[in-house]
């Protein structure tokens, strides 16, 4: 009896992370043994693939693929020149490699198991039958005028006809372009027009989750704007009524069966395009990623063999839609290239019950199962009772599309795999074609949440995002890149090679830019942290925020839109959108949201609809006008207290809209979050002060009648600064608190009559220092005692200990969630006094004064050392928080030293 391993094999004592070794039961039920004997053999082969890549790939290509003509050159090109060609001179055919050679050697072996949406409608297709069907459809395509290099669009659900259509295209040298069956007519149109497809293959309706989906109707709407499409081949799936265009539309069942059962595969160059698959683009226009024949086929075969440990009698099940790269590579090409059986499942994991996946695995003796974490999260939430199906055949459980959390990983291992299967978390992209970082089934010890180790030929690099320099060694974190080309890498963007180079090869010179952040731990294992660009991953579907925003902007009353991705318990990420209106609308915000959601569903597809839409008055932008989605992402994720670097944020200046009391900015962007966007933003002041003053002068001269200089309170770390002025006036306020009155001095801004434009805060409260702005970010306010302990500025030993100040004179103040002119609530002291260090104080005070001077000249209206020192301390917390000042001033300090430093560096007004 096989031993069941239900617990982790070991724990890394230095990190506390679980390490899972290959279960003993995995080897007990293995048909032979894993392709590699262990991690040492992997390291040996991996090093060979990096040090002598041409030798490694030449041998592997000749072993796994059938070549009509052998190649004379393994690889040509580099990231520097933007070219990447593999196996030059070699000729082969993808259809022959996937079908013919297996139909010759094992004609009655099952190639495809079809599981329809409704249970009980399954069927099997042998390799001999598959060859016959592929040939017939290839004949039909040729009869429609399709030749080598032409593009055929395929809009089909997960049915065998999708696989047959793919292979029929490759058989005659055509380029297939699959379109996800959930896309809208507009998305179909955009892709078909860009690819200049000559033929569309679709179905009357699709079945999913017990429902019929009008596939043909969606295609008809798209093809009205696709002049290149002359023929539409329609497979009858449900028999539902559909509209018909004579001369263009043809029924599959009427034309395909009439064709001959064989057509010779067209000999193709290894570097010829195999297929075109559109992925999200940061500009909003989807990118048509092109994969070439030889390199892609080899990548699919080698990763299928080693990552999934595929053996001849295995049955492979990849859940999801064939319109995405995962099912291209691991539902179609990898299993068929290796001559095994692939399961094509039309339905959803929850219909008619939450055990549908597990029943398929059990009934068809599936050995490898590959699925996105989104589906697993849904099934886990449904309860373990649905996982009682035994599934003794399963050896490898794979995750794809996004990093899988440790808890979900362990659930997959313990509950689904019963502790007997090897769980592998894989990382790759549409552009990479196949796995680039992944464990090897039956070989690699795994860490839940980590993609583990690089695949053969992949040399990852962690890049510092600021300097662009590679971070060497382990225990580093940054942007994930790849150093050298590999066979399965995309060759270009369809019709726009410059875009390909700019997107992937020119971001960091001589590296491939993945767009993802990553960490390499002490063992060299990789942990993917997610996208660093404007792409959202929803249920494993990569969506461009620009594409979603373009759909939102189509609304007649939308001025601007920004879409961001946030973490979601079920879908991994969800889309949240922020929109501003052109004009005040009679519609309620709820109605606007419903209209916009419907618009996105129609323009792109239901899966792209934002989960939440915020109607706001303005959006945060850089000085160049680019929307700062990073800030919106923080807000949408509830991380308001950690907005990060906002040094490039352009502050709204009250030039046209009259500033409100204690609010120099435009009206709050989002009432709920109005105190977040511009509250803690004065880091920009240090480098921007002089330029801001010059801009303010120019703006004042252009529009003197509406010009309102910035003004506001600054209670220690209350920061209401728009483009900051050059001068701060400090005035005494009760109990030693500070009230900054920002004024534009005559040399900064003048009216046409040459009078200084000064704006002061109205006295709306008897204690202005306790009044807060609704735009400040959760400040921590220290109120100094009204009577300082320090009396003699000449005495170097006299000290003033802030830590011993009366408790009632200190308060940690937090602004209310909304509104203005409301007193803060006392939340207790927050001050800690470091040990006395005179040198530390002097160094800190010098840095503090320098930082304040960078904000603009600070003028003090007193020559009293105690008062001046007290006020400087009042500035401390603000500058620390605002300018990331490296250390706080000590609570105890020599008074004379402080006074001397202040006297040397500041101008005082009597």
Q: Which helix (H) or strand (E) holds 297?
A: helix 293-307
For residue 828, pLDDT beyond 50: no
pLDDT over 90, % of the chain: 49
Comparison of pLDDT for 817 and 419, the residue scoring more: 419
Q: Residues 215, 218, 223, CA angle at the centre, nearest 5°? A: 120
Task: Kindly list the structural domains of the chain, giving each domain's residue range(s) and its CATH number in brackets, ordered by start.
Answer: 534-639 (3.30.300.30), 651-910 (no CATH)
Centre a 10 Å sphere on the Cβ of residue 130 and count the other Cβ atoms it contains.
Answer: 25
User: Pairing state of beta strands 512-520 and 315-318?
Assistant: unpaired
Q: How far apart are CA 714 and CA 856, in angstroms?
A: 15
Comparison of pLDDT for 502 and 809, the residue scoring more: 502
For residue 788, pLDDT beyond 70: no
Confidence of residue 533 (pLDDT cuts 50, 70, 90): low
Please tell me the predicted confidence (pLDDT) of residue 646: 57
Q: How far apart are CA 286 and CA 542, in angstroms?
A: 11
For residue 386, pLDDT beyond 60: yes
Please tell me the predicted confidence (pLDDT) of residue 602: 83
Average pLDDT over residues 316-343: 95
Alpha helices in 196-268 (DSSP H): 215-223, 252-255
Average pLDDT over residues 441-448: 96
Q: What is the DSSP letter of 519?
A: E
530-534: long-range pairs with CB below 8 Å, 24+? 530/402, 530/403, 531/565, 532/465, 532/479, 533/282, 534/282, 534/629
Average pLDDT over residues 405-411: 91
Confidence of residue 895 (pLDDT cuts 50, 70, 90): very low
Summarize pLDDT for 864-880 with one digit per residue, the tens. 555 555 555 555 544 44
Summarize pLDDT for 696-711 with one digit per residue, the tens. 444 434 433 322 223 3
- Which residue has tokens 């583990």? 452
Least confident of 261-265, 347-351, 377-381, 479-483: 377-381
Residue 713: is it exposed, middle or buried by C-beta count within 10 angstroms (0-12/13-18/19+)? buried
Q: What is the DSSP letter of 570?
A: T
For residue 806, pLDDT beyond 50: no
Q: How many residues does the chain have?
A: 910
- Which residue has tokens 């040298």? 173
Contact 445, 39 (CB under 8 A): yes
Confidence of residue 775 (pLDDT cuts 50, 70, 90): very low
Q: Taking Cα atoms as reference points, which of 271, 290, 265 lies closest to residue 279? A: 290
Please tell me the predicted confidence (pLDDT) of residue 513: 94
> Which residues fall within 8 angstroms of residue 739, CB to CB, at 6 or more apart?
713, 714, 715, 730, 731, 733, 768, 769
3-class DSSP state for residue 254?
helix
For residue 884, pLDDT beyond 60: no
For residue 822, pLDDT beyond 70: no
Confidence of residue 713 (pLDDT cuts 50, 70, 90): very low
For residue 791, pLDDT beyond 60: no
Least confident of 418-432, 721-735, 829-843: 721-735
Mean pLDDT in the chain?
74
**Cα 727 to chain center, whole Å?**
42
Summarize pLDDT for 611-662 with one digit per residue, the tens. 888 888 777 765 445 567 778 877 887 776 676 655 445 543 322 222 222 2
3-class DSSP state for residue 724?
coil
Instruction: Take residue 117 and report the two structure tokens written for it.
Output: 């949406």
Contact 229, 153 (CB under 8 A): yes
Comparison of pLDDT for 827 and 545, the residue scoring more: 545
Confidence of residue 847 (pLDDT cuts 50, 70, 90): low
For 551-651, list the strands marked E by DSSP.
558-568, 572-581, 612-616
Please tell me the predicted confidence (pLDDT) of residue 841: 47
Instruction: Take residue 714 and report the two structure tokens written for it.
Output: 């600054």
Strand-pair partners of 151:
175
Least confident of 30-34, 193-197, 329-333, 888-892: 888-892
Helices (H) and strands (E) in the chain, counts: 25, 39
Please tell me the predicted confidence (pLDDT) of residue 686: 29
Summarize pLDDT for 117-173 with one digit per residue, the tens. 999 888 999 999 999 999 999 999 999 999 999 999 999 999 999 999 999 999 999
Q: Taking Cα atoms as reference points, which of 761, 648, 750 lies closest to residue 693? A: 750
**Cα 761 to chain center, whole Å?**
44
């Amino acid at each position: 009896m096989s031993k069941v391993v239900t617990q982790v094999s070991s724990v890394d004592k230095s990190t506390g992370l679980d390490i899972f070794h290959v279960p003993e039961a995995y080897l007990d039920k293995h048909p032979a043994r894993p392709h590699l004997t262990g991690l040492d053999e992997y390291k040996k082969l991996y090093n060979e693939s990096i040090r002598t890549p041409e030798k490694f790939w030449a041998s592997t290509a000749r072993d796994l693929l059938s070549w009509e003509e052998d190649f004379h050159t393994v690889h040509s090109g580099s990231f520097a020149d933007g070219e990447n060609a593999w196996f030059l001179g070699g000729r082969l055919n993808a259809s022959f490699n996937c079908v013919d050679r297996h139909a010759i050697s094992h004609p009655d072996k099952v190639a495809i198991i079809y599981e329809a949406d409704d249970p009980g409608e399954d069927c099997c297709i042998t390799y001999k039958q598959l060859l016959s069907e592929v040939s017939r459809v290839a004949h039909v395509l040729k009869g429609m005028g399709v030749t080598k290099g032409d593009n055929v669009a395929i809009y089909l659900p997960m049915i065998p006809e999708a696989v047959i259509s793919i292979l029929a295209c490759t058989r005659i040298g055509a380029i297939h372009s699959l379109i996800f069956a959930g896309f809208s007519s507009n998305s179909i149109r955009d892709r078909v027009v860009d690819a200049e497809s000559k033929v569309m293959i679709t179905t009357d309706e699709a079945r999913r989750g017990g429902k019929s989906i009008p596939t043909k109707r969606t295609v008809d709407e798209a093809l009205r704007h696709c002049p290149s499409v002359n023929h539409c081949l329609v497979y009858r799936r449900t028999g539902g009524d559909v509209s018909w265009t004579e001369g263009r539309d043809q029924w599959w069942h009427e034309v395909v069966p009439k064709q001959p059962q064989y057509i010779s595969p067209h000999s193709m160059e290894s570097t010829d395009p195999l297929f075109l698959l559109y992925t999200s683009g940061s500009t909003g226009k989807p990118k048509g990623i092109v994969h070439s024949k030889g390199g892609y086929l080899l990548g699919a075969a080698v990763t299928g063999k080693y990552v999934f440990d595929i053996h001849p009698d295995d049955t492979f099940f990849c859940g999801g839609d064939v319109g995405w790269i995962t099912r291209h590579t691991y539902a179609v090409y990898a299993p068929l290239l290796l001559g095994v059986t692939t399961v094509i499942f039309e339905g959803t994991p929850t219909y008619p019950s939450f055990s549908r996946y597990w029943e398929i695995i059990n009934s068809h003796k599936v050995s490898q199962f590959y699925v996105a974490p989104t589906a697993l999260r849904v099934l886990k939430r449904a309860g373990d009772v649905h996982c009682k199906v035994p599934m003794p055949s399963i050896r490898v459980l794979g995750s794809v599309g996004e990093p899988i959390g440790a808890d979900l990983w362990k659930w997959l291992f313990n509950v689904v795999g019963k502790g007997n299967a090897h769980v592998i978390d894989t990382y790759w992209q549409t552009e990479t074609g196949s796995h680039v970082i992944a464990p090897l089934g039956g070989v690699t010890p795994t860490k839940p949440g980590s993609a583990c180790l690089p695949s053969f030929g992949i040399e990852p690099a962690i890049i510092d995002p600021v300097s662009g320099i590679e971070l060497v060694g382990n225990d580093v974190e940054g942007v994930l890149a790849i150093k050298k080309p590999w066979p399965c890498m995309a060759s270009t963007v369809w019709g726009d090679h410059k875009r390909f180079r700019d997107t992937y090869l020119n971001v960091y010179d001589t590296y491939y830019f993945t767009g993802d952040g990553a960490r390499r731990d002490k063992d060299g294992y990789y942990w993917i942290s997610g996208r660093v660009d404007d792409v959202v991953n929803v249920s494993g579907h990569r969506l461009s925020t620009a594409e979603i925003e373009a759909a939102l902007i189509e609304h007649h009353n939308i001025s601007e839109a920004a879409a961001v991705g946030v973490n979601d318990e079920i879908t991994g990420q969800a889309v949240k959108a922020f929109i501003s209106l052109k004009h005040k609308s009679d519609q309620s915000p709820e109605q606007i949201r419903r209209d916009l959601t419907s618009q996105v569903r129609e323009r792109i597809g239901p899966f792209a609809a934002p989960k939440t839409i915020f109607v706001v008055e303005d959006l945060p932008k850089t000085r160049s006008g680019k929307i700062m989605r990073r800030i919106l992402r923080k807000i949408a994720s509830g991380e308001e207290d950690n907005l990060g670097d906002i040094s490039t944020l352009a502050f709204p200046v009250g030039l046209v809209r009259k500033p409100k009391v204690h609010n120099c900015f435009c009206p709050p962007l989002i009432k709920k979050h109005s105190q977040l966007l511009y509250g803690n933003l004065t880091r920009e002041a240090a480098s921007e002060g002089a330029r801001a003053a010059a801009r303010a002068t120019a703006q004042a001269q252009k529009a003197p009648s509406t010009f309102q200089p910035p003004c506001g309170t600054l209670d220690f770390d209350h920061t209401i600064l728009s483009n900051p002025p050059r001068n701060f006036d400090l005035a005494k306020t009760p109990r030693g608190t500070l009230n900054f009155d920002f004024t534009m001095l005559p040399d900064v801004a003048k009216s046409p009559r040459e009078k200084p434009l000064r704006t002061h805060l109205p006295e709306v409260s008897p204690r202005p220092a306790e009044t807060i702005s609704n735009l400040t970010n959760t400040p921590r306010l220290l109120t100094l005692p009204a009577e300082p302990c320090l009396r003699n500025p000449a005495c170097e030993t006299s000290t003033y200990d802030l830590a011993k100040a009366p408790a009632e004179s200190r308060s940690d103040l937090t602004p209310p969630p909304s509104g203005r002119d409301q007193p803060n609530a006392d939340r207790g002291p927050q001050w800690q006094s470091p040990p006395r260090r005179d040198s530390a104080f002097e160094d800190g005070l010098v840095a503090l004064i320098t930082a304040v001077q960078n904000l603009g000249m600070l003028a003090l209206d007193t020559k009293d050392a105690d008062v001046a020192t007290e006020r400087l301390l009042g500035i401390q917390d603000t500058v620390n928080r605002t300018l990331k000042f490296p250390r706080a001033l000590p609570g105890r300090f020599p008074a004379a030293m402080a006074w001397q430093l202040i006297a040397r560096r500041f101008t005082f007004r009597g």
